[in-house]
Structure 1
């Protein structure tokens, strides 16, 4: 995202880590993103948000900074011995395979039958039992919108996730969705991806649910979180189940750009301490 107000192009990184119950560790990782290896502070990098889910034991950190300095993924292979990574999206050149496709190829969803010795990572020689396999991808912009339905019936959640998934007929463009048990309910977890080509103008109702923004003069669109929430609420009601909450993990592109500009102008690297997670 070009940012004339701070004089450079901004990049955003959603860093997912398998830790949420030890907040001191999560914050140490966040602070490490603000420093170079010798320990010098990066004045133009900021951690905008930390979203931690105790039940999943997972945290998502929203990092932002100039494209030239946001090199955390590249440095990871040098700073952490024995780590291994696979690429997806625009980082996966020239194929540009998406995250779902790469995970299926790696047998990601079948942990009980995961044969690490047969996996050839894009970076690293072998998959370490200690560090596992890390995915690194690039896209115009992606955020997470998670809607919770008030049931313990995972089958209902899976049907709803399938109905909103963009790859399926009648689904929502740019949406990748899965259903998970979560604190006695079921969460429909949606990755919201951006795309360039406009929906057909004949589909007037759906086209009004997309929001546009620009990267270097090129228009990109995404399905609005409010519309995602509305569609899942309707599908859940068809099963006689209410929704009980929606969490936007991270920010919309516009909100992210504005907060990143503010944080960088003020030299505030630990911006997450000011900001609480947005819950719709």
Structure 2
């Protein structure tokens, strides 16, 4: 069966009513199924995970993301520790089952064109859906954030791939992509000082010479007076959760701090756990429902 997964990230992690409204808009679309959604007040961000056949997944994404664009005003978005360029920050499409990457790319392109035009929002295609090499990596598109977007849109090199080429002050811009499943994995340290988390993140992320396919940031969790190593494992087949966790644990011990717990955002392929139980990773709020294969 051809199945496409969609995992939009919204720049709202504190207003439960807005998130419930977005979920209701998605629920009204037949043929798609919401598997998981979460909100984080420190990241000021919410992540939805839903699936459907290629012919329905775009309808679900349009309903949820258009509602989010209506409700989330980026002029009021303060205190976020996660990089973002818009209210609907990123919308990846992932092929599952018998679907191929081409199916996900087609869905991304259809959604991006419709979403950008209907909502007056600049859209950039990334990952396997990228139309130019300089836009393949998501951090390159996000560079400068929402605050730098108005100036960036004046540069002809950063004309959007879809939607209008002007700054939408209310909604910002949206990155739309196609990719394989990634693992959003956060590790909480036993300290309130940010430097250990930043040092660990710098040492493990690929862009700083660390582990392949790892993107990492050290971020404060002000609501808990703790810090976190926030990561995306963009290819868990090459660099597993176990490898990353073991590296963080060893580096944390050398810095005199401990790992308190870890968390997954969204769902995770079973193979990403690398044969280790959730207790190995000190995962909180974990159940078999978080395993992607169990939801298909």
Q: TM-score of the superposition, structure 2-length normalised?
A: 0.66
**Runs of 4 or more off by more than 4 Å in structure 1?**
none
Task: Determine whether 1:56 maps to 2:24.
Answer: no
Q: Deviations over 1:220-264 (max 9, x none)?
A: x253324322221211111111111101111222421331x2xxx
Q: Could you say which residue in structure 1 is the equivalent of 2:14?
A: 21
Task: Determine whether 1:258 maps to 2:294.
Answer: yes
Partner SS state of residue 70, structure 1:
helix
Say which structure is richer in helix: 2
In terms of Rg, which structure is larger?
Answer: 1
Task: Determine whether 1:69 maps to 2:56.
Answer: yes
* 1:78 CA displacement: 4.5
* 1:113 CA displacement: 8.8
Give the structure, 1 or 2, with the largest relative contact order (CA under 8 Å, sep 6 or more): 1
Q: Could you say which residue in structure 2 is the equivalent of 1:179?
A: 218
Say which structure is richer in strand: 1
Measure the CA separation in 2 of the matches of 1:20 and 1:133. 18
- RMSD over aligned Cα, in angstroms? 2.3
Measure the CA separation in 2 of the matches of 1:148 and 1:162. 16
* 1:150 CA displacement: 2.1
Q: Any gaps of 5 or more consecutive residues in structure 1?
A: 1-7, 36-40, 195-209, 211-220, 262-280
The answer to whether the 8 A contact 2:141-2:175 is kept is no
The answer to whether the 8 A contact 1:55-1:182 is kept is yes
Partner SS state of residue 232, structure 1:
helix
Partner SS state of residue 249, structure 2:
helix
Task: Determine whether 1:85 maps to 2:123.
Answer: yes
Partner SS state of residue 56, structure 1:
coil
The answer to whether the 8 A contact 2:187-2:230 is kept is yes
Q: Deviations over 1:8-65 (max 9, x none)?
A: 2122121111112221211221232243xxxxx313x111111111222211111111
Task: Determine whether 1:31 maps to 2:24.
Answer: yes
Q: TM-score of the superposition, structure 1-length normalised?
A: 0.70
* 1:94 CA displacement: 4.5
Q: Could you say which residue in structure 2 is the equivalent of 1:11?
A: 4
Partner SS state of residue 69, structure 1:
helix
Q: Any gaps of 5 or more consecutive residues in structure 2?
A: 62-110, 271-290
Measure the CA separation in 2 of the matches of 1:54 and 1:227. 28
Q: Could you say which residue in structure 2 is the equivalent of 1:47?
A: 34
